[in-house]
Structures are given as structure tokens and as C-alpha cells.
Amino acid sequence: MNTAYLTAGDTFSLDCPTITRTTLALYAGASGDHNPVHIDIDACHAVGIEDVFAHGMLSMAYLGRLLTATFPQDRLCSFEVRFTAITPVNTTPTCTGTVAKVEDGLAHLDLSVALPDGTVTLSGTAVVTTH
Amino acid sequence: MPIDPTIVGTRTPEFQTTAERGRLRSFAQATGQPDPAYTDLDAARLAGYRDLLIPATFLFCLEMDNPDRHRFLADLGVDMRAILHGGQRFHYHAQAYAGDTLTFWTEVTDVYDKKGGALDVIVRDTHVSRDGTPIATLTSTIVVRDPKAAA
């Protein structure tokens, strides 16, 4: 994307892969987040949780992929999210970014990750330099 | 279980770690990253980078290697299964690369409860630097809930 010509309303998106149990095992290993709620259904049952669910930071990593597929990573000034719903296993989220405003050489983006049923799992913002 | 508010201002000791190329390749695989600048040294150099890029959220993973992080939660009597990640923020100051020795330290900046004490919220800032140069500041919001209340 020619980021010098970004304008409010520009949108970009990323279709995430389906998050399988294998995805969660690989992410646990690579990230170092070994919290059993993401990888061990027995540990979930022991505290009344029905099944494993995805690491929130996995979805944030997908949003990061969306950002760095659109802008060189060293233009990223800030990136933040709130985790608004749990991501169940075996779902296929979509990441979306929208330019909210461009001001003083900075593009302000609104970000979200949503499940196929429309549930928003992450909501956030990022600021990138436009050049 | 209320969290002791006097933990605000407490800091972990400094902690140093390095992102190895192999672990970054595993992270790229786990996150479906197709951009070779994150996995292939030649591709990274061709794109103008001196080594594999540390991805935008990976500093959080390196922070998790801090042994004091787990000790901190255990000392508060928090069960890992009762934790929800409420929010995460990164402020970036400079790009970090595979092989960089990065220094981390974490400070508790806020503690409060929500929903009449059913949830405790802990906010922590982690400062990351390389040879004294700021790389990033991470702000993590952790929600501690009653595990029996989980859906």
C-alpha cells in the first residue's frame, strides 16, 4: 500500500487460518504461554471450563500480521487491543483495520478481530507513520 | 480474592533474554506468517533488515520468559487458570531483531476491582531496552476471576 496517500475510511483485512488444537499447541510452544486453559481440556474441566480456547495474543499476532502486511513494521508507533470475547477452538477469525484519521504524518487505525458469527473478540487501535 | 493494592509500584528485577531465529521461525509457523522477512535471513537482509524481525507482539512472549513474572502471580495466590488477559498495549521506540540482547523490567502500575469484587484487575508496564536504548513499553491488563464463575 502506498501509505503516503492513506485517507480516512481506507480498510484492509486478513483472513486468519482456522484455529485448531494444533495451532494452540504450536502457539503455546512458540510463545512460551503454557497456560493449560489453551492446551489441556482436562485442566479446563477441573475448573468448570468446557473446552480449551485460543490465546488472546494469538489473535493479536494475526492483527500484527495485518499491520505489517500493510505497513513496514518499523513504521508502527503503537498497537493496543482489548480482549472482548473468548475465541473458541476450531473457528476462523477475520482481522480488519480501518483508517480513522490521518494527521501530522500519522495514520490512526481502528482494529478488530471477529468470528464468523459476528462476535468481536478483539477491539483496538494502532498508530503508524505514513512515510 | 482482593489483590493487595500496596503492590502498585513494585518492580521485578531486570531480566535479559534474546530472541533466537529458530524460535522466531516457530512463532511465524504458529501464527501463519507468510512474509519471509520473519523466517529467512536472506529475505530479511534483502528487505533492508540486519536480521529476522522480532514480530510486533513477540516482545510479550519474551516478557513471559521472565521467571519473576510467574513468581509474582504465584506470590499473590493467583491460579493461572483463573487469569484472563483483558488488554495489551505496545508503544514502539525502535525495531528489535533476532539475536539482540534485550533487557526487561516490569512495574505494577494499577490494581482495582470490577463487578463488586468478582474480578480483580492488575495493570503492569514492562520496559524493554537494548544497550540502554528504549525498544518498547508494554502495558498488560490482567483480569483475575473466580474460576468457578467461568462459562
Q: Has residue A31 got a pLDDT over 80?
A: yes
All 3 cell numbers of residue B27? 512463532
CB atoms within 10 A of CB B144: 22
Q: How close does chain A come to B146, measured CA to CA in Å?
A: 10
**B142 phi, psi to nearest 5 deg:** -115, 130
Closest-CA residue in chain A for B95? A74
A57 interfacial to chain B (CB closer than 8 Å): yes
Q: How close does chain B come to A33, measured CA to CA in Å?
A: 7
Long-range contacts from A100-105, C-beta under 8 angstroms, 24+ separation: A100/A8, A100/A125, A101/A8, A102/A6, A102/A7, A102/A8, A102/A130, A105/A129, A105/A130, A105/A131
Do residues A59 and A77 lie in contact, with contact meaning Cβ atoms separated by under 8 Å?
Answer: no
Residues 6+ positions from B48 with CB-CB distance below 8 Å? none
Pick from A43, A50, A80: which is nearest to B81 by CB?
A: A43
> A32 vs B65: CB contact, 8 Å cut-off?
yes
A18 interfacial to chain B (CB closer than 8 Å): no
Pick from A35, A49, A78: which is nearest to B90 by CB?
A: A78
Pick from B33, B61, B91: which is nearest to A32 by CB?
A: B61
What's the DSSP call for residue A91? B
Cα–Cα dist A17/B96, whole Å: 27
Cα–Cα dist A15/B14, whole Å: 38
pTM beyond cutoff 0.90:
yes
> B89 vs A64: CB contact, 8 Å cut-off?
no
All 3 cell numbers of residue B74? 504465584
| β-pairing verdict for B15-18 and A76-83 | unpaired
Domain span at A55: 3-129
Which residues in chain B have their CB less than 8 angstroms from residue A62's CB?
Answer: 31-32
Walk across the sheet containing B83-92 and list its strands.
A11-15, A94-103, A106-114, A120-129, A76-83, B83-92, B133-145, B119-130, B101-114, B15-18
The domain that holds A25 is classified in CATH as 3.10.129.10
Per-residue pLDDT reduced to its tens digit, B122-133? 999 999 999 999
Cα–Cα dist A76/A84, whole Å: 23
> A65 vs B31: CB contact, 8 Å cut-off?
yes
> B80 vs A36: CB contact, 8 Å cut-off?
yes
The total of structural domains in chain A comes to 1
Cα–Cα dist A34/A28, whole Å: 5
Report yes or no for ipTM above 0.90: yes
Q: What is the pLDDT along chain B (151 residues), one digit of tens a residue?
A: 678 888 899 898 999 999 999 999 999 999 999 999 999 999 999 999 999 999 999 999 999 888 777 777 778 778 777 888 999 999 999 999 999 999 999 999 999 988 887 899 999 999 999 999 999 999 999 998 864 544 4
Residues 6+ positions from A130 with CB-CB distance below 8 Å? A3, A4, A6, A75, A102, A105, A106, A107
Domain boundaries, chain B: 15-149
As to burial, measured by CB atoms within 10 angstroms (0-12 exposed, 13-18 middle, 19+ buried), residue B22 is exposed
Do residues A27 and A13 lie in contact, with contact meaning Cβ atoms separated by under 8 Å?
Answer: no
Do residues A130 and A106 lie in contact, with contact meaning Cβ atoms separated by under 8 Å?
Answer: yes
The CATH superfamily assigned to B15-149 is Hotdog Thioesterase (3.10.129.10)
